[in-house]
Amino acid sequence: MNIGAIIPARYNSTRFPGKPLAKIAGISMIERVYRHVSNCDKFKKVIIATDSKKIAEEVDRFGGQVKMTSEGCSSGTERVWEVLKESDLDAAINVQGDEPLISENLISEIYLKLKEGGNPVVTAVCFNKSEEEFNSVNVVKSVFDKNGSALYFSRSPIPGQQLTEFSGFYHHIGIYGYTRSALSSFINLSPSDNEIREKLEQLRFLDNGIKIRVLKTDYRSFGVDVPGDIEKIEKLLKE
């Protein structure tokens, strides 16, 4: 199976315009993500997908590969598909362009699970003991069966722990591996009811019978959402 890595990067973020170009200890965020993915040394292609000429110029500057996508893409997933469908890749890993500390080991694990076959979609979770985050709508929770197949994802606190002492939950990490056929199906299906209610597009797969394999990892997601997060990332780098 020929697997590539595709990093969607959008310039016009509502909360942080120009986010991929933000400097973190002197290096742009998009370059940091690209370096981590490239360091896995598993991919035939590592491609940044963007509709921004400014981002494309930055990628050219540090020697990365970039593909321009249409401004009509409503999500990173659609941006990934625009690149995947025009390529010779059988599958792709969608690495978020705003996670400058993304784990190279996790990317490799997603790659290997996709490579072995039988897993149309692969994603990851980490165990989280924060009760505050368990109750936050901004933190996505995951439940899965004993074989690691996702049962549901929600912004609500699941699984319910009202009758027992809180023990933690599985926090979803937004990295995905997709086969070409699975992503093609996703794009051609209408948004599902659960997807609309939860505002979680991965539920479109589950609601249409497409299995998602969930991998457990110790990596905690350190995404950049607002300008103030840059200082936090720089602090983590120093540590």
pLDDT in tens, the chain (239 residues): 999 999 999 998 888 999 999 999 999 999 999 999 999 989 989 999 999 999 999 999 999 999 999 888 889 999 999 999 999 999 999 999 999 999 999 999 999 999 999 999 999 999 999 999 999 998 999 999 999 999 999 999 999 887 678 899 999 999 999 999 999 999 999 999 999 999 999 999 999 999 999 999 999 888 898 999 999 999 999 98
Non-local CB neighbours of 79 within 8 Å, separated by 6+ positions: 6, 8, 10, 49, 50, 51, 69, 73
The CATH superfamily assigned to 1-101 is Spore Coat Polysaccharide Biosynthesis Protein SpsA; Chain A (3.90.550.10)
Beta bridge partners of 15: none
According to the model, what pLDDT value does residue 120 have?
A: 97
CA distance 220 to 148: 19
According to the model, what pLDDT value does residue 141 have?
A: 97
According to the model, what pLDDT value does residue 14 have?
A: 82
According to the model, what pLDDT value does residue 239 have?
A: 83
3-state secondary structure string, 2-16? CEEEEEEECCCCCCC
- Nearest to residue 150, comparing CAs of 94, 67, 206, 218? 206
According to the model, what pLDDT value does residue 71 have?
A: 83
According to the model, what pLDDT value does residue 223 have?
A: 86
- Nearest to residue 50, comparing CAs of 1, 2, 92, 12? 12
CATH 3.90.550.10 region(s) of the chain?
A: 1-101, 118-221
According to the model, what pLDDT value does residue 25 have?
A: 95
Residue 37 tokens, joined? 């993915």
According to the model, what pLDDT value does residue 236 have?
A: 92
Does the domain spanning 118-221 belong to CATH 3.90.550.10? yes
Residue 1 tokens, joined? 């199976």
Query: Helices 29-39 & 104-115, crossing angle to 10 degrees?
Result: 50
Residue 13 tokens, joined? 């973020």
According to the model, what pLDDT value does residue 103 have?
A: 93
According to the model, what pLDDT value does residue 119 have?
A: 96
- Nearest to residue 107, comparing CAs of 44, 39, 171, 32? 39
